[in-house]
A and B are shown apart, each in its own frame.
Chain A
C-alpha cells in the first residue's frame, strides 16, 4: 500500500517538475516574441516616417546598419558610444528597482566629469595605474554627492526625488559651465573647456587603431556583472526590490527605509559620476560642455528598456548606441535628417513598453490557466 502511495507521489512530483519547466519555456517564448514584435514594428513605423521625409527606407536602414554594425571598427565605435549609457543605466537600474526615480544622472555625470578633469590636472605627473583609479573614484564620489542631496531630502522630508534630481541637473550644468568659463578654462583654447590632460592619465587603448579604451571593457565585463550580482544576490538588492514593490511592506519587514533610499540613490549617482570620469579620461581627454549628448536621459530609457536587468540593459544600451551612430551615418550618406534617429529611438521605447504590457497580460493568462488546472 505504502509502495503504491510512494509511486503516486513520485509521479505527481514529476508532473509538477515538467509543468514548471514548460512554464519557464513558455515565458521565455513570450518574451522573445514580444521583443521581436517591438523591433519589427519600430522598423515598420520608422519606414513610414522616412518615406514621409522623402527618402527610401531601405537605403536609410542600409546606412543605419553600415553605421552601427558594418565592420569591426564601426562595431567598436558603437560599443564606445554605448559605454557611458550603459554605466549610467546600470546605476539607474539599482535606484529604479527601489522605485527611486533618479532623473538627475545627467547632472551627476557632469559633476563626475568635472571633478575627474580637475583631479587629472592636479595629479599630473603621477603614473596612470595609480592615478586613474583615484580619479575615477573621485568622479564617482562627485556624482554620488550630487545624488546625496535629493536622497536626503527624500529620505527625511519625503520630497519627491523626480523634481529635485531633475532640477539639480541644471544647477550642475551651470556650475560646470562657470568652472569651464572661469577658473578651469584652458587659456589657449577658444572654447570653454579645460586643458587637455596629460597622456599618462588617459584610459589605455585596448585595440590599436580604435577608440576602444579600458573603460569600455571595465563597464561591460566588470560593472555589468557586479550590478547584476548586487541586485540578485545581495541583501541590499533584495531590500531595494522590497522597498520598490511595497514601501509599507518594507517598513513592516523591519527594513530601514531611510538608509535604503539614501544608498540606492547615491549608488546610481556614483555610477553616473564614473561615466563622466570615463568619458573625460577615455574619449574627450578634457572636460567640455559637449561631453554628453544627453547620456543621463538616454540612460533612463535604457534602464527601463532592459527591464532593470543588467544584461537586458547591456543589450538595450548597445541598441541605443547603434541607433545613435547609425543615424549619423544615415544622415551623412542618405541625407536623412538626424532627427530621424530620435524618432526611431522613441518609437523603439514606445513599442518595447507596449510589448511589456502584452507580455504581462500573456504571463498573467498563463498563470491563470495553471491555477485552473491545479486541483484546489
Chain B
C-alpha cells in the first residue's frame, strides 16, 4: 500500500520546495473508536512555514503529536529526508530533528533556563558542566535573537520568554523541524510580532516550521503554505497566494451542507423569555476576559443558535450559564430562578447541558450505564428519597435514555468505558434530552455522530419545542444552526454582536458577521 508512491502529491503541485518530512495517509483511531485523523497527507519543506489550520477537535494536535512521536498512527507512515521512520517516543522524533513546542509549556518553573534545557540530555556524559552549557546557549541566543537569560529561573520569566526558552531547548538539541502548537494563544500583541520574526528567521536559516493554529489571520501573516483540517480530514492544501481569509474560513467551518433539512416550526415571537443572560463578564482559565458583556435571551419553545468562530468566548459563556464557571460580573436567570454560578441551581431550575467535552465532563467512564444515565437525577426525590437510591427508578430511566438514541450495550450495568465512542455520545445526548424541563444547552451536539443519529437529535430538538422547552444551540457548524434555529446570535470577541431571525439569516450574512464582528448593514 503506497509503496511505490515516493512523495506526497501536493508536493509536486506546490512550489519546488525540498520536502523534509512527509506524512502519508495518516489515520489515527483512539481507543473507544474516535477517528481523530482520517487518511491525512501532510508535508513540510526545507525553509518552509506550513500552517495547519482547523478548529478545536479537527485533528491538528493529534496529527502533530504523531509527527513529534507522542502518539503512534493507527495507519500511515512518516518519511523524513526520504527515509521511512517510526517513532516510539518524542526522543526518537528528536533524533530525526523533529521537535514540538507545546501549547502549554513543559518547563519546570523552579529550575533555571539552562537546567531546563539540559534536562534529559544524556549525550553530554555523566558530569553536568552548566557553565559550558550556558556559554553554548548564550551563543545560540545571539545567533537566533531569542533573548532569554539562561541563568534565570523559569518562574521569573514572562510568557514570551518561556516560549523562547522552549524553542532554545529544541534548537540546542539540533532540531530543524519545529512544530508550534497554537503558539500565539498565550502571547500578547508585541510578543506575537517577535515570535513571527523568530519563525521567519528560523525558516530563512533552513528550519522547517509547522504552525498549528485556528486563527486565520495569523496563518495568513506567517505561512508559505496552508493546510486545512476539518473533522479529522485534510480538506485542502494551498499556497499563500491562493489563500484568502474568506476561503479559509469557509474551509474551516465547512460548507458541505448539513445532512438534514428539518421542518421549521417557528416559536411565537411573543413568547416569554426563559433564559436571560445579562451583561455577563467571564474570565478564561488564563485569567483574561473571554466573555465581555454578553447579553442574550432565549424565549420559551425557541431554538436559539449561537454561531461564531471557535475561540470567541463560547466555551466560557456556556460554562457560566450552566454554573461551572463563576462570572466576575453579570447574571443568568432561568425562569424565575437566579442561577448564576451553581450547577445545582441550573439543574434544579430545569436546565440540561450537552457538553462539547463529552468524555471529560459528561460521563464517568468507570461507572455503569444506569448510574451515568441518572447522574443529575440524584437531586430529585423520586430517585433519591431520604438519602437512599431508588434503584428501580434509575433502571427505568436508564432504559428510556438508552432507547431514545438506541445506545448499543451489553447490559445496563456495563461500565461505560466498554461502550464505543459513538454510543457514549448517544448516551449523553439521550440523558440530557430526557432530563431537560426548561432549556437545553447543547454544545456541538452532533459532532462525531452519524447521520442517522444527527437526524434523531434534530427531531428531538423539534419535539422539545413542541413541549415548550427551549434550546440554546452552540455550534461552529453553521449549517446545523441554520437548519434548526428560530433565531441566530453571533458571538464575536466575547460579545453577542448581532441576532438574526431565521428568515433574515443566510450563510453569507452570518458568516460575514462571524468574521467581522458586526452585522452586514448594507445587505440588510
Contacts and interface: CB of A to CB of B under 8 A. Distances in A.
B19 interface: no
B130 to A, nearest CB: 31
Interface string A231-257: 001111111011011101111111110
Given A252-B353, A367-B414, A376-B408, A245 B366 contact: yes
Contacts of B42: none
Contacts of A245: 364-367
A249 B361 contact: yes
A251 B375 CA distance: 10
B371 A238 contact: yes
A254 B343 contact: yes
Interface residues of A, number: 32
B410 interface: yes
Given A238-B371, A248-B360, A252-B324, A20 B411 contact: yes
A165 B361 CA distance: 29
Interface residues of B, number: 34
B399 to A, nearest CB: 13
Interface in A360-376: 363-364, 367-368, 370-371, 374, 376
Contact of B371 (A19, A20, A242): A242
Interface string B322-357: 101000000000000000001110111000010100
A65 B487 CA distance: 77
A23 interface: yes
A249 B416 CA distance: 13
Interface stretch (B59-67, B204-212, B287-295, B383-391): B383-391
A245 B418 CA distance: 14
A162 B427 CA distance: 35
A296 B445 CA distance: 48
B363 A246 contact: yes
**Dominant SS among interface residues on chain B:** mixed
Interface string A207-239: 000000000000000000000000001111111
A374 B406 CA distance: 13
Nearest to A253: B375
Given A370-B410, A376-B408, A238 B365 contact: no
B152 interface: no
A235 B363 contact: no
A256 to B, nearest CB: 7
Contacts of B420: 371
A254 B363 contact: no
Given A20-B410, A367-B418, A371-B408, A254 B364 contact: no
A254 B344 contact: yes
Residue among A234, A238, A242, A254 facing the most chain B CB atoms (10 A cut-off): A254
Contacts of B366: 244-245
A241 B367 contact: yes
A246 B99 CA distance: 33
B361 A252 contact: yes
Interface in B355-398: 355, 360-367, 371, 375-376, 378-379, 384, 387-389, 391
B378 A374 contact: no
A370 B376 CA distance: 29
B45 to A, nearest CB: 42
B364 A249 contact: yes
Contacts of B371: 238, 241-242
Contacts of A235: 378, 384, 387-389
Interface string B411-434: 100100010100000000000000
Contacts of B360: 246, 248
A367 B389 contact: no
Contacts of A249: 361-364, 375
Interface of A: 19-20, 23, 233-239, 241-242, 244-246, 248-256, 363-364, 367-368, 370-371, 374, 376
24 contacts: A20-B410, A20-B411, A233-B389, A234-B389, A235-B378, A235-B388, A242-B375, A245-B366, A246-B361, A246-B365, A249-B363, A249-B375, A250-B364, A251-B343, A252-B324, A252-B355, A252-B361, A253-B343, A253-B347, A254-B343, A363-B418, A371-B408, A371-B420, A374-B408
* In the A-B complex, the 6 residue pairs with the closest CB atoms: A245-B364, A254-B344, A367-B418, A253-B375, A235-B384, A246-B364
